[in-house]
Amino acid sequence: MNIVILAAGMGKRMQSSLPKVLHPLAGKSLLGHVVDTARSLSPAKLCVIYGHGGDAVPQAFADQGLSFAKQEPQLGTGHAVMQALPHIEDGAPTLVLYGDVPLTTGASLQRLMAAAGNDKLAVLTVTLDDPTGYGRIVRENGKIVAIVEQKDANEAQRAIREINTGIIAAPTAKLRKWLAALSNNNAQGEYYLTDVIAAAVADGVEVVSAQPDDLAETLGVNSKVQLAELERVYQLGVARRLLEAGVGLADPARIDVRGALECGRDVAIDVNCVFEGKVDIADGASIGPNCVIRNATIGAGANIKAFTHIEDAVVGAGAQVGPYARLRPGTELASDVHVGNFVEVKNSIVGVGSKANHLAYVGDADVGSGVNIGAGTITCNYDGANKFRTIIEDDAFIGSDTQLVAPVRVGKGATIGAGTTLTKDAPAGQLTLSRAKQLSLAGWQRPVKIKK
């Protein structure tokens, strides 16, 4: 098939300099959702019609192998599809989608294409309790004979509750003919794509319909209000699927998935968590409230406590992270690791059972198993120009308020005394410390505030 996606609208009600179709829904642009769905149908040709926003739309999808055609000026949906005609092939039917209608599923579109076959015109329709503002599906003896826009409809037609979603599938060669014959003699002075229905009827081409699985699949975005409403529709759908798969959600209305979230059995997720990119959570893991997790793997039985941020990291089975911890890109925690409150780990590997429970920075480090990192410890990994690694071998004990000036190695079983600034390797099994001599000054008087 050919697929044409209409994405040229200005979106005045969005009150934004960003083209409407590039606004994000669940971490992906509106148009990105439509393109991904279109690609799932394996079209021979996929053409996006753009207009307002200059080249912002083609630039946003520059590396995705799409065809683009510019609609300028914008003279209606029929005129928009005309711009795609040089990019599509007559030997296959054409499916027309909309860049601001992001939730249409591949299954519903396949149903529409099946109804159209190779020689029919198929329209995706829905029935609404209040159809105000939508084009009405006009039938005679059960067969579709026309679509009439709200502004052009008479009183009897406005009472019709079956409406046009705008999504159609048509034989391409005939579509070219019908588009060439369109007129803009209507209330808007535009070339309506919907007028091809009457042209098809006049040509003796059967017009059929199909319906989506859910009304939400046909909802478009014209304002920030509608965008926010559709975001909640999307997220509630995600939450429902997670619940059905056995995930425990403290509140299905307070979770945001902006990518792909895969969960094992008996996973528990508290409120206000955000998952971005690709996140995998294994059996029995728990995620506390207000966590942000991006492109991460969480092992079985791990406990991610409140207000933790994890990005491009791996958390091992049974590990405990947080509250208020941050795992930055390149972090790999082995099983049973403890990373406590206000601890930041970056580009580091931390071995089995090691702990950094309080107020520490571990960056560019290889930490063995059974290591204890005391409060206030930092790896000084950056000299202002280059990054260097710190190596802490198994069973080492790093006292509180220690600075490990990389590159440096702490040997197996070594102990670093509290307050040490380590600039040379610490031998295995020994106590290493560096401190100024402690002094007590007899007769010293604390300053007092001078009265004015």
Closest CA to 164 of 105, 226, 218: 218
Question: How far is it, in rounded angstroms, from Cα 228 to Cα 210?
Answer: 28
Question: How far is it, in rounded angstroms, from Cα 413 to Cα 327?
Answer: 26
Q: At what angle do helices 172-180 and 195-202 cross, to 10 degrees?
A: 110
Question: How far is it, in rounded angstroms, from Cα 399 to Cα 394?
Answer: 15
Question: How far is it, in rounded angstroms, from Cα 435 to Cα 417?
Answer: 9
Query: Alpha helices, DSSP H only, in 41-171?
Result: 56-60, 77-82, 106-116, 155-158
78 within 8 A of 49, measured Cβ to Cβ: no
Closest CA to 93 of 168, 34, 159, 30: 168
Q: Alpha carbon 279 to chain centroid distance?
A: 11
Place of tokens 């560019």: 364
358 in catalytic set: yes
412 within 8 A of 396, measured Cβ to Cβ: yes
185 within 8 A of 191, measured Cβ to Cβ: no
Question: How far is it, in rounded angstroms, from Cα 176 to Cα 320?
Answer: 62
Question: How far is it, in rounded angstroms, from Cα 212 to Cα 120?
Answer: 18
Q: Are strands 332-333 and 349-350 parallel, antiparallel or unpaired?
A: parallel
Catalytic residue, candidates 52, 79, 87, 358? 358
One-letter amino acid at 310 equals I
Closest CA to 108 of 211, 242, 189, 229: 211
Q: Where are the beta strands (DSSP E) in 188-231?
A: 207-210
Residues annotated as catalytic (active site), given as ranges: 358
